[in-house]
Structure 1
């Protein structure tokens, strides 16, 4: 089942629910059976949550912990709760405004050959896969359900046409420069090519990322024009002259209608100042002429369009902010499904928010779906990818991650049916996998946990504080051992010096090095048998109840 078919199936299911604000989980299970298991329960529940419908009886993992009022997560959720939720009509209106603003920004690109050339260069980055296709265009020339590779081919074909037309435009500009004027025929050809390129750029459905890459070029054009105007304005201001009047007089000098001396005398300023202003005015004309040659509309119109686009960018960003903030609740709801799986709850929300922004940028309100319906797939995919990459010390293959998720989902379904935790054998039967293989795969279920994780609300300790340090002896054991040694010393003092020495050497009580009977015999210059007799006699004395009762408590512990 394709994503489009999933959308349509879920929309029909929502329509069948009607105005109800909640449904039971068995109803969801019946719907899953009707779709022959093509849509998993999590997809359906996330979709219904996005549309304000609660599923009763579905066991969702509780929130990872009860939050304190000074907890960053609690403050974040509190802030999110204050954001206004947009209705379907308002959401479509805001999304349409955002799309229209983007279209107006996009329409500036065909107005200048430098911006067209930059677009072609960006397109080549898509061709070499330096830039992802979905960050460049939303193009769907043919089938709207086309694969990414098919969309890439469509986009590259359009870019090829734009590049061909750009070469034709440049050739006409070169001809006009040679003729030192624009012929009527060439002007008509340029206008026709401008319309063609504009239509081609419109077909590309450029994303905001691509337009942001072109934006600096337009900013440079406006800055260049403003700097040129400012320099002559500064000269006029220093001489306390009207800038427009100074421009008019310097233009007359450049046309040969007057001289610097006459103008200086007329304006009551020095000749050097007029010469400086004339040089600046000449430079201004030269640079503006170069800019006009690269533009398919007048320079004044181009500057006006670029300045107007700044307002469109503001509109776009404001609409985008409204749509993102109105759907952040959805990110939190989906993130709850993936808690305690090796990635912190806040990290899941972070990934989900990034995916939500991408979904907003690519949302098409004309499809008739709500943004939440469309964004679910982006958010879930981002979270699943994060879990696959970060939840294990060693990154697991995609097929293994998918198998683990399938195992967990079926185990949950069996748990609800049986009313208890299913055995590994029961799960193996349900997923049609050999029990032995299931046992091997279950070894990958473990995940990493941060040692800095808090233990709870009223406990300031972290997980690190309660993990036993096996490399260090426990203070309790050290104290017990010291007391045992002291008591053992007092008991041994009840023996004769020779017996005490034999027992100490035999069991290594001083240096932790037990000796054999033969080794002890050599020390005392006695036979092995005699040492054994001394040992047996000493042990017999130590087994006396009066001595044993002093030592037994240490061994019982």
Structure 2
């Protein structure tokens, strides 16, 4: 009795057994040349290695697309045959509540042909059906776990469980779920299967003894069903899943390598937009992989035609998000681009008016929005930008800092303070202190007559008389002449 006895002949149309991915990889590896270290340049090395990769012919492109599709369905079946994987996958299906989430789960060709609301209802219905199947499977397991059961009954129960799971897989295939949704489930399954194998080898007790398997119940009930599967079958399942996954990854890699030139040719159009060329290529490659996951060869068009849009979308979105030091919101990007296009057209056509009112009219947006666009679209300039050919000075050296006093002003104030102190020293102690307190010479705070009077314990009138006498003395030419130069500087400013 085999867990993986599943017929896949009906999905292998157009699959050539004599044509292997390993041959392509070996041929390419023998043709690669070692690059000298002195010529090290990441972009140059990448482009040089990329030039050694063969282009895909139309026949080979179709072959790889078909093989990826076959391997993805085969991988789904190898993974979802287990209750543990079905349990985790149903949780993902139950999270689909809207059209936006649906697009992330369903293949492109399937989402185009059906009504979105109907597909959401179909997913909910199938998820409920699978949930019921899992409950029945658990009930069957409980029948043989309560007491020692004969081996034939154990095999019979396992066959029933696998039969129900295969029907559940057919329902899932009718939804056309994307393979990347199953990959996280696959990784969890391999870890769990490996853990169960190690656990069974360690315990080596009858499967029905709760003392041997009570630790498994702390994780999930679906793991307990794996304990009735022979160790050899679990090990074979692990090897099979890993083998199909490795071949699936190899096929995607070959498909992507054959289209790297397309990414570079598209990325060249978006240079000088605030992002390095190698970053544009990287983002384009991410769009390429997204296109491979979504491509359906049955639609009839070439892959390059389909992938171009995804590559452009990935690059443009990256430029919008990362090119600017201060990011512009996505909803404003179109407005900024539209305004810039109108402005460039007006500047190119000299007969047209390039004033804000004309730009707002052509762009069909309010003038206030044009002002806002110009503020948002302006690029910040680093204060550390070098100035001049030698680059010895920076932009910050030419920027006036209002918070820092100029050296000339500081020297002027220092000399004024020195001369003022000399002039005040010619007065008596009481006159000097009254002038300092009344005009805030030391701390900048001007005290009232009453405050100064309290400090000297005399009346306000007496303080006023002392102040008047001191000012009269300061106005004498012998004293005032020393401060005239500073007064002229203040009047001039």
TM-score by length of 2: 0.58
Deviation at 1:445, TM superposition (A): 1.8
* Residue 91 of structure 2 is aligned to residue 121 of structure 1: yes
- Per-residue deviation, 1:424: 0.9
Over aligned residue pairs, what C-alpha RMSD do you find? 6.1
1:356 equivalenced with 2:287 (yes/no) = yes
Q: CA deviation at 1:126?
A: 3.5
**Contact 1:94 1:323 (C-alpha < 8 Å) held by counterparts:** no
1:280-295 mapped onto 2 (5 Å cutoff): 280=204, 291=226, 293=228
Please tell me whether the aligned partners of residues 111 and 194 of structure 1 are also in contact (alpha carbons under 8 angstroms): yes
Equivalent of 1:329 in 261, 264, 271 = 264
Equivalent of 2:244 in 309, 320, 326:
309
- Report the equivalent of 2:182: 210
Instruction: Report how far residue 423 of structure 1 moved.
Output: 1.9
C-alpha spacing 1:221/1:438, structure 2 compared with 1 (3 Å): closer
* Change over 3 Å in CA distance of 1:401–1:134 after alignment to 2: same
Work out the CA distance in 1 between the residues paired with 2:462 and 2:416: 27
Mapped to 2, the partners of 1:460 and 1:134 lie a distance apart of: 55
Over 3 Å counting, the alpha-carbon distance change for 1:294 and 1:556 in structure 2 is farther
Q: Distance in 1 between matches of 2:340 and 2:95?
A: 41
Is the 2:385–2:394 contact (alpha carbons within 8 Å) kept by the matching residues of 1? yes
Partner of 1:375: 311
The corresponding residue for 1:108 is: 78
Deviation at 1:364, TM superposition (A): 0.4
CA-CA distance at 1:108 after TM superposition: 0.6
- Distance in 2 (alpha carbons) for counterparts of 1:521 and 1:281: 109
CA–CA separation in structure 2 for the residues paired with 1:160 and 1:431: 52
User: What does residue 17 of structure 2 align with?
Assistant: none
Is the CA contact 1:126–1:132 (under 8 Å) kept in the aligned structure 2? yes
> What secondary structure does 2:110 align onto?
coil
Which fold has the larger relative contact order, with Cα–Cα distance below 8 Å and residues 6 or more apart in sequence? 1
How many residue pairs are counted as aligned between the two chains? 410
The Cα shift of 1:105 comes to: 1.9
Provide the C-alpha distance between the structure 2 equivalents of 1:473 and 1:145, rounded to a whole number of angstroms: 72
Distance in 2 between residues matched to 1:323 and 1:459, nearest whole Å: 44
Deviation string 1:396-422 (CA, Å, 9 cap, x unpaired) is 6x6555433332332233333349992
Please report the TM-score for the alignment, with normalisation by the length of structure 1.
0.52
Contact 2:85 2:189 in 1 (8 A): yes
| Mapped partners of 1:449, 1:386: distance in 2 | 14
Q: Residue in 1 aligned with 2:359?
A: 427
Q: 1:82 aligns with which of 35, 48, 54?
A: 48
Following superposition, the deviation at residue 348 of structure 1 comes to 7.4
Aligned residue in 1 for 2:451 = none
* Structure 2 unmatched runs, 5+: 1-39, 214-222, 448-460
Q: Deviations over 1:428-475 (max 9, x none)?
A: 11023343x345534752668486865489648776676543222123
SS in 2 for 1:422: coil
Residue 201 of structure 1, aligned match among 163, 172, 175: 172
Equivalent residues in 2 for 1:158-557, closer than 5 Å:
158-164=126-132, 166=134, 181=152, 193=164, 195-203=166-174, 204-225=176-197, 228=200, 280=204, 291=226, 293=228, 299=234, 302-312=237-247, 314-315=249-250, 318-319=253-254, 322=257, 329=264, 332-333=267-268, 336=271, 338-339=273-274, 349=280, 352=283, 356=287, 359-360=290-291, 362-364=293-295, 366=297, 367-370=301-304, 371-384=307-320, 391=327, 399-418=331-350, 422-435=354-367, 437-438=368-369, 441-442=372-373, 444-445=375-376, 449=380, 454-455=385-386, 459=391, 467-479=399-411, 481-482=413-414, 522-523=465-466
Distance 1:320 1:191, change over 3 A: same
State the partner residue of 1:141.
Answer: 110
User: Aligned with 1:107: secondary structure?
Assistant: helix
Q: 1:323 to 1:168 in 2, by over 3 A?
A: farther
The 1:207/1:311 distance shift into structure 2, 3 A limit, reads: closer
**CA–CA distance in structure 2, aligned partners of residues 105 and 323 of structure 1:** 23
Per-residue Cα deviation, 1:137-183 (whole angstroms, up to 9, x for no partner): 43653525866x66544544444454455556666777898896469
Secondary structure of the structure 1 residue equivalent to 2:94: helix
What is the CA distance between 1:217 and its match in structure 2?
Answer: 1.4
> CA–CA distance in 1 between the matches of 2:365 and 2:98?
42
